[in-house]
């Protein structure tokens, strides 16, 4: 299903509970209360720089345009998210009220296991079902466009010009809270832009990538037959985050063995919910319908058991904690608290204070100097 016109794309999502707040309602564009999180940079006034007083900030305008289906605005918004963390407070304030409607799916696994190929096959399947799909590739080594790997571009070119598909590679430039935080913001942008499904591809090589995988409602961990991939994944903690285990390259020898090994491994998980194990040959499109069905079943189960809300709550709390810690760290490094810190360090060295009471002192100073914004 294609709408043909970019303006129509925001209406395709059929979730009934999706209350679309007016784009400008209650949004804290240039609210000084948000300035603290953005850092002490005078440019924090941010996207609003050239705006006249009382006008909507550029962030609010950009979000409104992206929510309305403007793909160029969406691309610009994602660039702002990627490159300019100090704008996040304004952007995320403007996004509030538009998010929460998308189904998010994470795909992770070792390089070369077939994530991009599987994403492409999933996009095709979701489009056939009339669903609008956003893709975030958090894998600097295999960008979908503008990068080194021609293969990915060629495979994805079948979706070029389809207004129901939006694909974006994310480099690791987000500084405020790191790549996982930048990805969380980008996910929120695609969610607000009305995509029914948002897929995040990330290379499963470290804790940061596992954190990113955990951003999704449903996390698929991909493995390929042989090569001890399953053992590696178990070591990396990847199996722990798997809601669905995908054995890709099932056209290769050893797939049945890998499926059996993984099934045995998941049985050893005491108490925890066991992930489904799905056989896929992404290049041939085999097993993709079953994968789509397993992802949907997992998501239904999450919603039915209340686990979806629990996960989203935990994620929101994590994010707030991360932002608060970052803000606190920034405050510590900035005047006058850095000077106070140096002074306290001298006192500790001279034996006039101990580190614990000095820390309490510093924290007291910060809290009295910067009362928490009340909104
Ligand atoms: N034989 C086989 N090769 C596959 C399959 N899926 C992906 N590949 C190949 O594996 C290579 C890496 O795929 P890619 O999707 O880029 O992996 P990623 O690094 O995990 O994103 C490519 O050459 C694909 O054509 C499959 O199901 N069977
Ligand atoms: Mg890839």
- The ligand minimizing its distance to the Cα of 139 is 2
Nearest residue (by CA) to ligand 1, atom 2, is: 249
- pTM score above 0.95: no
User: 295 alpha carbon to ligand 2 midpoint, in Å?
Assistant: 20
Instruction: Provide the 3-class DSSP secondary structure of residue 20.
Output: coil
Residues flanking ion ligand 2, Cβ below 5 Å? 115-116, 142
Q: How far is CA 328 from CA 30, 248, 314, 318, 334, in A?
A: 21, 44, 21, 15, 10
Nearest residue (by CA) to ligand 1, atom 7, is: 114
Question: How confident is the model over 334-363, as pLDDT tens digits?
Answer: 989 999 999 999 999 999 999 999 999 999
Ligand 1 lined by 203 (C-beta under 6 Å): no
Q: Domains of the chain, with CATH numbers? A: 33-98 (no CATH), 103-305 (3.40.50.300), 312-369 (no CATH)
Instruction: Provide the 3-class DSSP secondary structure of residue 137.
Output: strand
Atom of ligand 1 nearest to the CA of 119: 15
Q: Name the residue with higher pLDDT: 54 or 354.
A: 354
Atom of ligand 1 nearest to the CA of 282: 27
Q: Which residue has the tokens 């001890």?
A: 228
User: 87 alpha carbon to ligand 2 midpoint, in Å?
Assistant: 29
What mean pLDDT do residues 216-224 have?
92
User: 242 alpha carbon to ligand 1 midpoint, in Å?
Assistant: 20
133 Cβ neighbours under 8 A, 6+ residues apart: 122, 123, 126, 127, 164, 165, 166, 195, 196, 197, 198, 199
Tokens for 85, please give them: 């963390």
User: 160 alpha carbon to ligand 1 midpoint, in Å?
Assistant: 20
The predicted structure's pLDDT at residue 180:
77
Atom of ligand 1 nearest to the CA of 281: 27
Ligand 1 lined by 223 (C-beta under 6 Å): no
The predicted structure's pLDDT at residue 141:
54
Count Cβ neighbours within 10 Å for each residue of 208-231 and write b for 16 or more, e otherwise: bbbbbbbbbbbbbbbbbbeeebbe
| Contact present, 175 and 85 (Cβ < 8 Å) | yes
DSSP annotation string for 269-325:
S-SSPPPEEEE-BGGGTBTHHHHHHHHHHHHHHHHHHTHHHHHHHHHHHHHHHHHHH
Question: How confident is the model over 85-99, as pLDDT tens digits?
Answer: 778 889 989 998 999
What mean pLDDT do residues 307-327 have?
86
pLDDT category at 283 given cuts 50, 70, 90 is very high
Nearest residue (by CA) to ligand 1, atom 28, is: 249
């Amino acid at each position: 299903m294609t709408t043909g016109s970019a303006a129509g794309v925001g209406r395709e999502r059929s979730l009934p509970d999706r209350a679309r707040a007016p784009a400008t309602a209650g949004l804290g564009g240039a609210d000084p209360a948000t300035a603290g999180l953005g850092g002490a940079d005078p440019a924090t006034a941010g996207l609003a720089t050239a705006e006249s007083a009382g006008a909507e900030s550029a962030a609010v305008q950009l979000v409104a345009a992206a929510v309305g289906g403007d793909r160029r605005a969406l691309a610009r918004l994602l660039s702002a998210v990627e490159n300019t963390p100090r704008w996040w407070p304004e952007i995320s304030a403007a996004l509030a009220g538009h998010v929460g409607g998308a189904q998010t799916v994470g795909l992770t696994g070792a390089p070369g296991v077939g994530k991009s190929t599987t994403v492409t096959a999933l996009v095709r399947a979701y489009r056939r079902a009339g669903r609008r799909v956003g893709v975030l590739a958090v894998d600097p080594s295999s960008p979908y466009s503008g990068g080194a790997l021609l293969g990915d571009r060629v495979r994805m070119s079948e979706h070029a010009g389809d207004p129901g598909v939006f694909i974006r590679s994310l480099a690791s430039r987000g500084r405020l809270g790191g790549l996982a935080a930048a990805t969380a913001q980008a996910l929120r942008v695609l969610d607000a832009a009305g995509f029914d499904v948002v897929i995040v591809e990330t290379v499963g090589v470290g804790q940061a990538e596992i954190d990113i995988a955990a951003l999704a409602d449903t996390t698929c961990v991909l493995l390929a037959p042989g090569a001890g991939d399953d053992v590696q994944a178990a070591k990396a903690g990847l199996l722990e985050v798997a809601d669905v285990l995908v054995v890709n390259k099932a056209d290769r020898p050893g797939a049945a063995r890998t499926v059996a090994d993984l099934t045995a491994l998941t049985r050893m998980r005491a108490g925890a919910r066991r992930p489904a194990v799905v056989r896929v040959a992404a290049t041939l499109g085999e097993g993709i319908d079953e994968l789509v069905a397993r992802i949907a079943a997992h998501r239904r189960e999450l919603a039915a058991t209340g686990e979806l809300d629990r996960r989203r709550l935990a994620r929101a709390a994590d994010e707030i904690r991360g932002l608060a810690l970052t803000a606190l760290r920034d405050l510590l490094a900035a005047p006058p608290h850095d000077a106070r810190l140096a002074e306290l360090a001298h006192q500790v060295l001279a034996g006039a204070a101990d580190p614990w009471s000095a820390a309490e002192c510093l924290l007291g100073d910060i809290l009295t100097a910067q009362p928490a914004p009340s909104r």
